[in-house]
Amino acid sequence: MDVIAIFDVGHSSKRLLLFDYGLNIVHQEEKIFTDILDGKGIPCDEISPITAWMKSRLTNLIRTGDYEIKGLNFTGSGSCLIHIDKTGSWVGSEDEGIMQDRTSPEVFEINIEGQSVRTGYGVRNTSASMIPYLKGTDKPFILVSTGAWCTFMNPFDTEQLTQEESGNENISLLNIEGLAVKTSRTLLGEIHDLNVARLDDRFGVTGELFKTIKIKSKKIRKLLDSRHGRIFFRHGIPPGYVDEQADLSHFLTYADAYHQMIFDLVDHCLDSYRVVIPAIDTTEIVYITGGFARNDTFVRVMAARMPDKRVYASVVENATALGAAMKIYESTFGTGLPPVYLGLKAIIDND
């Protein structure tokens, strides 16, 4: 079977995924690596065992004969993507502004176990996650990528960064598929999880009860009409992220407390949303993807706060790896991209 192999290099885990001709995942595996400390005492990845694992897995897959690896690409954070010279020596990372010449070929040939493999230069995970949506729709849109961060990306905002924005490490202008994409991000996942733990303790809840909680339109309207402002994060996100000042005696039930916490956390995220909205806004659609796309309260509150947009939750699996595969698909197989399933669910006020 002809496949494209993608190494998705995340912080917590590294994954290998194989995509077939129809861009379906036919094989995936995951490997956890222990962090080491860099020279400043900051946890980081140890490169040698990761690259050894990559080489070993590719070699073994080719030797089994079950798959014909036609293409290979990589995705990771900007600091994961490094650049090497002709001798294989490290010369810098993408975070240092060393970018590939966009006029150069998208792939180059390497030989693995006697098999010629067309290999990509690697894609930043933020860029990779947007590629399926750029290829899959012709309507102007904003992508909200959720997980550890809530990242808003607008490929239809042509305004340049202001001097103040340029000095903010959470605001950037990325080159994705030839488009200048304005992005703005704020922390999300850890803030959510730590404050959920506080709610669990307060209400005597164990497990992940929040995953079963849904929210009604009547409750959303009540939150929108409330005049008391935020209860959580009233003074911003505190050091350590847990809002100990939020008075939980306001709430009779765990669900009420969780709804308010999410409402206030979305309000915090909207500061980043406003950054990517230009004076003349042509976007019609918002796609929410990533872990929080499955959170009913989060997506419905987010949609309620964007009344001028059509909001969709997208539960496409492995969007970053899929984007990296799409990046080299035509160069690898010599044909156009097949239709891609984005797993869209319209978020509408219908209860």
Q: Which amino acid is at 282?
A: T
- Tell me: the pLDDT tens digits for 37-66? 888 888 888 888 888 999 999 999 999 989
Least confident stretch, 16-25, 38-47, 259-268? 38-47
What average pLDDT does the segment 21-34 reach? 93
Residues 144 and 241 in one domain: yes
Neighbours of 26 (CB within 10 A): 14
pLDDT at 28 over 90: yes
pLDDT at 284 over 80: yes
Number of domains in the chain: 2
The reply to whether 130 falls in a domain is yes
Quick one: what percent of the chain has pLDDT higher than 90? 65
Which of 178 and 192 is assigned the larger pLDDT?
192
CATH number of the domain residue 132 falls in = 3.30.420.40
Instruction: Point out the domain boundary residue: 68, 94, 121.
Output: 121
Q: What is the pLDDT of residue 273?
A: 97
Contacts of 84 by beta carbon, 8 Å cutoff, 6+ apart: 90, 91
Task: Share the mean pLDDT of the chain.
Answer: 89
Contacts of 76 by beta carbon, 8 Å cutoff, 6+ apart: 8, 9, 10, 122, 124, 125
pTM of the model: 0.84
DSSP letters, 219-249, are HHHHHHH-SS--SSSBTBSPTTS--TTS-GG
Q: Please report which confidence band the pLDDT of residue 245 belongs to, taking 50, 70 and 90 as the band edges.
A: very high
The reply to whether 324 falls in a domain is no
Least confident stretch, 46-50, 102-106, 182-186? 102-106
Residues 26 and 82 in one domain: yes
The reply to whether 128 falls in a domain is yes
- Tell me: the pLDDT tens digits for 143-152? 999 988 999 9
What average pLDDT does the segment 138-142 reach? 92
Radius of gyration of the chain (CA): 22
Residue with tokens 């995220």: 269
Q: What is the pLDDT of residue 96?
A: 43
Please tell me the distance from the alpha carbon of residue 194 to that of residue 181, in angstroms, as a whole number. 31
The reply to whether 342 falls in a domain is no
What average pLDDT does the segment 292-310 reach? 96
pLDDT at 228 over 90: no
Residues 266 and 131 in one domain: yes
pLDDT at 83 over 80: no
Residues 116 and 237 in one domain: no
Residues 133 and 279 in one domain: yes
Residues 143 and 104 in one domain: no
Residues 158 and 17 in one domain: no
Give the pair of three-digit tokens for residue 288: 């929410």
Range of the domain at 92: 2-121
The reply to whether 330 falls in a domain is no
The reply to whether 333 falls in a domain is no
Residues 41 and 109 in one domain: yes
Residues 140 and 268 in one domain: yes
Q: Which amino acid is at 338?
A: P
The reply to whether 332 falls in a domain is no
The reply to whether 348 falls in a domain is no
Residues 128 and 31 in one domain: no
